[in-house]
Every structure is written in structure tokens, then in C-alpha cells.
């Protein structure tokens, strides 16, 4: 029925929000890429790219970004799968409340996790305090907060709910009869998980995992609050170059690379989640 109406006014209506998006986002983004090939000295060249690609800081930031994001995503997938599995298939009183709590968790900003972890694992925090109280040692053994592992712990904590949500939805659609049948045929829990539940959850896992991967690649708050010199990622480097060093051409180059990496992965996410029917 909708197809019968003339298409011109419909296209015009759609044009208004697209024009707004273009003015507030697409045009600035294009300008940013343009700026990255227009050095301050005038003309257009890839000179800044050469400088940036040649610098040790950039290469380390690129490496850090990718491996921290990959490790965090792997952690989120394992943890999210286990937690969602228990909530869905070994329900306990209050499991609903836990699922609700996870939703609330998503509405808080990520950097709060790092702020909280300072009190838990920081040099004068709970874990080290407990250790020194029990053993009488001068200082505790936990000093990983300012290393990439601190960032990974915070990212796993913050992003795991993003894996749990699609998984819980997928588990809700799984026919319980399948599990009962497997169980009555003598399959034990690990085998049911491996052969019945996991194959069914794979699309949701893939979709959730690639979303989390993109979000980890783009994460800034957690890295900023970690405040460690040794843990520089691409978004952090964009901030450092632009705001702290006022080196806008270099910042634009790093930003362009960051966008290219994230968009490539986001494209994969869209393809995967469409195939999964999510």
C-alpha cells in the first residue's frame, strides 16, 4: 500500500534528517580526513602519514588498541556466555533481578569502573590492604591496574552485559524440549551445552562479540582514567595529540586510521548480525 504513493515527497521527508546528520557528523568527518592530507605547510601530501606511521608511539598505540580489544572481547564472550547460561538454564531465586541489574549497569558510564577499581586493586586499595593485614608484608602483590591488564579487567567488566543481552534473548527462544530430550537420552550438562546450546547461541555470540570488539577499540574513558603512560591506545593518542600537544594534523591522521579500523570491524559486525537475523 505504501508503495502506491508517489516517491518524491517520501524522499524529501527522509532528506531532512539526512541533511542534519550530514551537517553535524558526515561533513565534519570528511573535513577531518581532508585535514589529514593537508599539512600546515600548504598543499596536499601524505607527509604527516609518513611521520605518524614512522613514530614508535603510534605503532605501540595501534598494537595496544588491537590486542587490548581482542583480549577484552574474548574475556567478555567467555564470561558473558557462562553468566547468561546460569541465568537462563540454572535459574535461581532473584535471577530476574540480576538480569535487571545488568540492564541498569549499562546506563552508567564506563570510566566509573576504573575509578572503582582503584579502590579495589589500587596500591592502597582493598585487595592490597587485605594482603598486608593477613601476611604482614609492607605492600600487596596487586599492581596491574596501570598495565594493559587493568584496562582489560575494566573493559571485560563494563562490556560483558552487551554480550549477555543478545545471549539471554537467544536462550529464551531455545525450545526447552531439546534440552529435556538430550538430557533424557543420557547427555550430561557439559555435553548439552556443547552440542545443543552452543550451536544455537553462535549467531548471538558472534553479533555480541563483534559489537563489543568495536566498542573496545573505541573506548576512551577507561584508558583515560587508568592514566598510565604505558597504556596508550588510538583514541587516547588522538586526545593527546590534539588537546595536550595541539598537533592537529597528526591527530587527524591517527583519527583517520582509527576510523578505518573501527569501520572495517563494524562492517563485519553488520554482516554477521544480519546473517544471524539479529
Partner 1 sequence: MLVHSRGGRRAVWALFALLFLPLFALPLLVLVAASFAGHWSGALPSGPTLDHYDAAVRGESLRALTASLATAAAASALALTAGTWAALSAHALGRRARRVMDLLFMLPVAVPSVVAGLALLVAFSKPPVLLNGTRWIVILAHTVLVTAFAHQSVTAALGRLDPAYEQAAASLGARPWYVLWRVRLPLLLPSLGAAAGLCFALSMGELSATMMLYPPDWLPLPVLVFGATDRGSPFTGSALAVVLMGTTLLVLLALSRIRTKASYR
Residues 44-103 that bind partner 1 (CB under 8 A): 79, 82-83, 85-86, 89-90, 92, 98, 101-102
Compute CA distances 182 → 39, 83, 178, 202, whole Å.
Answer: 65, 22, 6, 19
Q: Write the DSSP assignment of 151-200 as a string of letters.
A: HHHHHHHHHHHHHHHHHHHHHHHS-HHHHHHHHHTT--HHHHIIIIIHHH
214 is a site residue for partner 1 (CB under 8 A): yes
258 is a site residue for partner 1 (CB under 8 A): yes
| Nearest distance in Å: CB 10, partner 1 | 5
Number of residues that bind partner 1 (CB under 8 A): 88
27 is a site residue for partner 1 (CB under 8 A): yes
202 is a site residue for partner 1 (CB under 8 A): no
What is the C-alpha to C-alpha distance for residues 204 and 147, in angstroms, rounded to an integer? Answer: 31
Q: Which of 113, 170, 204, 207 is close enough to bind partner 1 by CB under 8 A? A: 113
- Per-residue contact flags (x/-) with partner 1 for residues 156 to 195, judged by CB under 8 A: xx--x------------------x---x-----x--xx--
What is the C-alpha to C-alpha distance for residues 214 and 162, in angstroms, rounded to an integer? Answer: 12
| Nearest distance in Å: CB 59, partner 1 | 18
| Nearest distance in Å: CB 56, partner 1 | 21
Which of these ranges, 48-56, 66-74, 144-152, 243-251, lies near partner 1 under the rule CB under 8 A? Answer: 243-251
Please state the φ and ψ torsions of residue 174, each to the nearest 5 degrees.
Answer: -75, 130
What is the C-alpha to C-alpha distance for residues 13 and 63, in angstroms, rounded to an integer? Answer: 44
Residue 278: partners with Cβ closer than 8 Å, 6 or more residues away: 166, 203, 204, 207
CB neighbour burial string for 172-196, b if at least 16 within 10 angstroms, e if fewer: eeeeeeebeebeeeebeeeebbeeb
Pick between residue 47 and residue 174 the one whose CB is nearest to partner 1: 174
Which of these ranges, 44-52, 55-63, 200-208, 212-220, lies near partner 1 under the rule CB under 8 A? Answer: 212-220
Q: Strands (DSSP E) along the chain, which ranges?
A: none
Cβ-contact 155, 117 below 8 angstroms: no
| Nearest distance in Å: CB 246, partner 1 | 11
Q: Which of 32, 37, 66, 70 is close enough to bind partner 1 by CB under 8 A? A: 32
Which of these ranges, 21-29, 42-50, 54-62, 141-149, lies near partner 1 under the rule CB under 8 A? Answer: 21-29
Which of these ranges, 6-14, 47-55, 141-149, 199-207, lies near partner 1 under the rule CB under 8 A? Answer: 6-14
Amino acid at each position: 500500500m505504501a508503495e502506491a504513493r508517489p516517491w518524491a515527497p517520501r524522499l524529501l521527508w527522509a532528506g531532512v534528517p539526512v541533511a542534519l546528520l550530514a551537517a553535524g557528523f558526515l561533513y565534519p568527518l570528511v573535513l577531518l580526513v581532508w585535514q589529514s592530507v593537508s599539512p600546515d605547510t600548504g598543499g596536499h601530501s601524505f607527509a604527516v602519514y609518513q611521520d605518524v606511521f614512522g613514530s614508535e608511539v603510534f605503532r605501540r598505540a595501534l598494537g595496544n588498541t588491537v590486542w587490548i580489544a581482542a583480549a577484552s572481547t574474548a574475556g567478555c564472550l567467555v564470561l558473558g556466555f557462562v553468566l547468561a547460561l546460569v541465568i537462563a538454564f540454572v535459574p535461581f531465586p532473584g535471577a530476574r533481578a540480576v538480569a535487571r541489574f545488568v540492564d541498569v549497569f549499562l546506563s552508567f558510564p564506563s570510566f566509573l569502573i576504573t575509578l572503582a577499581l582503584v579502590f579495589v586493586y589500587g596500591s592502597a586499595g582493598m585487595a592490597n590492604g587485605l594482603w598486608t593485614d593477613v601476611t604482614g608484608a609492607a605492600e600487596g602483590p596487586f599492581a596491574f591496574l596501570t598495565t594493559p591488564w587493568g584496562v582489560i579487567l575494566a573493559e571485560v567488566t563494563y562490556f560483558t552485559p552487551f554480550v549477555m543481552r543478545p545471549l539471554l534473548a537467544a536462550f529464551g527462544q531455545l525450545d526447552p524440549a531439546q534440552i529435556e530430550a538430550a538430557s533424557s537420552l543420557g547427555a550430561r550438562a557439559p555435553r548439552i551445552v556443547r552440542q545443543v546450546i552452543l550451536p544455537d547461541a553462535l549467531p548471538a555470540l558472534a553479533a555480541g562479540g563483534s559489537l563489543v570488539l568495536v566498542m573496545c577499540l573505541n573506548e576512551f574513558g577507561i584508558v583515560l582514567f587508568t592514566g598510565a603512560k604505558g597504556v596508550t591506545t588510538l583514541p587516547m593518542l588522538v586526545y593527546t595529540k590534539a588537546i595536550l600537544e595541539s598537533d592537529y594534523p597528526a591527530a587527524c591522521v591517527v583519527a583517520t586510521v582509527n576510523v578505518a579500523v573501527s569501520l572495517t570491524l563494524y562492517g563485519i559486525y553488520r554482516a554477521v548480525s544480519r546473517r544471524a537475523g539479529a
